[in-house]
A = this chain, B = another copy of it.
Amino acid sequence: MGGVATDSSEQDKRGAGASAAHTQALMERRQSLLGPNMSTFYDQPLHIVKGEGVWLWDADGRKYLDCYNNVPHVGHCNPRVVDAICRQAARLNTHTRYLHNGILDYVERLTATFDDALDTALLTCTGSEANDVALRMASAMTGKSGLIATDATYHGNTTAVAKLSASNRSPHGSSSHIRWVPAPDSYRPLGGTAGDAHALAFADAVSEAIADLEASGHGFAAIIVCPHFVNEGFPSLPPGWLAPTLAKVRAAGGLFIADEVQPGFGRLGSHMWGHQRQGVVPDIVTMGKPMANGHPVGGVVTRAEIMAAFRSSYRYFNTFGGNPVSCAAAMAVLEEIEQQGLMENALSVGAYAKQGLEQLAVHHRAIGDVRGQGLIFGAEMVTDRQTKRPASAYTDKLINAIRHRGIILSKLGRHKNALKIRPPMPFQREHVDLLIEILDAVMRETAMEQD
């Protein structure tokens, strides 16, 4: 368990006192320089100064097990990635208006992990930029503008992409070309639990949205979803669940955009990409966060005909996109996944973690549902297993208490009552043991009075 403080020693108490004043000073400086409403995690935000593998350290020297961050996909400060960045940054960093093997070698290796039809790529700096391009690809290919997303999603921060978040509707700018369908929820499935009912209910909702878009004059360009519905609370959906939806989308002449920012790069353990676990081939795939372990890289993979349609409709150049350093960092991530067997690790450690949560559920009635696939797993907290009423305030108390016990994780889902556990990919069984032990201890100590 080395190094994580699981009790309040004298040193921790002193540290906590100094830390609170220090945090307050940083928060004030932040407000003054960056403005209000900058989001932070936890009631008492963390001041992190160092990372290594699955561990983070704060300014007081306290060590935290990182069970949350997917950006440092192959581990914080992964030596192979750092070395690749340093070597290339010292040699050359230009743009794609000059020829360079870095982008070609990387795109060749990246597209080799996809279905044969998905054979071209465009590199950006962020997942938001990738989705912003994907939406234009869909317009260029279909000549239409209507989009479908779920009502509990997030696909990024550009003006065009931010509109896809139903919860983040801005007072400015039209969203009349967007239709939201109810996010899948395996714990409370629309259509019921029998057979394909949930999958068919989702497909029917998509079908209605398509008809509505066609009637509106926008027409139907594309549906964009995370194929593992991670922001929606990563429901347990069997392979094939998306097939009826895909059939409706294809029949209507629309495109399927898979946002692989979260499930991609082997996180699900069984497959490199979330859509592959579902057994479907998207028209466009977008990626971001884990792609280069925190170096700003995003990308779009699609069929050559869609890439050509985009490039003939839009003149697109991204100054930093696909530069030699970015490609070296991204290549190192693919190499590390393969050479360290991180996808296989995600499958086995993820299964072990899910078992651990299921064991906890035997003793803790607050755990209404345990879900997980590879290294994205968690548990939904409820006030009552019969009514399945979300224990949102309790979940918030839990993650704050766990943070003070040296474990970093978060919450998500429509009711913000599901623990979101999504650690760096080198996460091991010993880390699961520590996580489960502290989660158990904190749940024993935490009352559910507010929900």
Which chain A residues have a beta carbon within 8 Å of chain B's beta carbons?
Answer: 23, 26-27, 29-30, 32-41, 45-51, 56, 69, 71-72, 76-77, 81-82, 85-86, 89-101, 103-104, 107-108, 111, 119-122, 125-129, 132, 135-136, 139-140, 143, 145, 157-160, 162, 168, 170-173, 288-289, 293-296, 304, 307-308, 310-320, 323, 325-326
Q: Do B48 and A94 touch (CB < 8 A)?
A: yes
Per CB-CB distance, the 7 closest pairs between chain A and chain B, nearest first, are: A35-B307, A159-B160, A296-B320, A37-B311, A296-B296, A93-B294, A47-B99
CA distance A158 to B295 in the complex (A): 20
Q: Do B311 and A38 touch (CB < 8 A)?
A: yes
29 A-B pairs, CB-CB below 8 angstroms?
A26-B104, A32-B119, A33-B108, A33-B119, A33-B120, A34-B121, A35-B308, A36-B308, A36-B312, A37-B315, A39-B315, A46-B98, A46-B99, A47-B99, A48-B100, A49-B100, A51-B91, A56-B92, A71-B319, A82-B86, A85-B86, A93-B293, A126-B318, A143-B172, A168-B314, A288-B319, A294-B323, A295-B296, A296-B320
Q: Copies of this chain, how many?
A: 2
Given contacts A94-B51, A160-B158, A319-B127, contact A325 B135 (CB under 8 A): no
Q: Do B122 and A93 touch (CB < 8 A)?
A: no
Contacts of A32 in B (CB 8 A): 119-120
CA distance A296 to B329 in the complex (A): 13
Contacts of A35 in B (CB 8 A): 120, 122, 304, 307-308, 310-311
Q: Do B157 and A135 touch (CB < 8 A)?
A: no
Chain B residue, CB-CB nearest to A302? B35
Q: Do A295 and B325 touch (CB < 8 A)?
A: yes
Q: Do B125 and A320 touch (CB < 8 A)?
A: yes
A217: min CB distance to chain B, Å: 13
Contacts of A325 in B (CB 8 A): 294-295
Q: Do B145 and A129 touch (CB < 8 A)?
A: no
Contacts of A128 in B (CB 8 A): 129, 318
Q: Do B125 and A125 touch (CB < 8 A)?
A: yes
CA distance A317 to B49 in the complex (A): 20
A285: min CB distance to chain B, Å: 15
A64: min CB distance to chain B, Å: 10
**Contact among B99, B119, B313 with A27 in the assembled complex (CB-CB below 8 Å):** B99
Q: Do A104 and B158 touch (CB < 8 A)?
A: no
A436: min CB distance to chain B, Å: 24
Q: Do B129 and A158 touch (CB < 8 A)?
A: yes
Contacts of A136 in B (CB 8 A): 159, 170, 172
CA distance A319 to B297 in the complex (A): 11
Contacts of A126 in B (CB 8 A): 125-126, 129, 318-320
Q: Do A33 and B121 touch (CB < 8 A)?
A: yes
Contacts of A132 in B (CB 8 A): 158-159
Q: Do B313 and A171 touch (CB < 8 A)?
A: yes
Q: Do A33 and B104 touch (CB < 8 A)?
A: yes
CA distance A172 to B319 in the complex (A): 23
Contacts of A312 in B (CB 8 A): 36-37
CA distance A371 to B27 in the complex (A): 47
CA distance A41 to B94 in the complex (A): 13
**Residue from A69, A136, A310, A326 with most neighbouring chain B CB atoms (10 Å):** A136
CA distance A323 to B326 in the complex (A): 15
Q: Do A157 and B316 touch (CB < 8 A)?
A: yes
Contacts of A139 in B (CB 8 A): 172-173
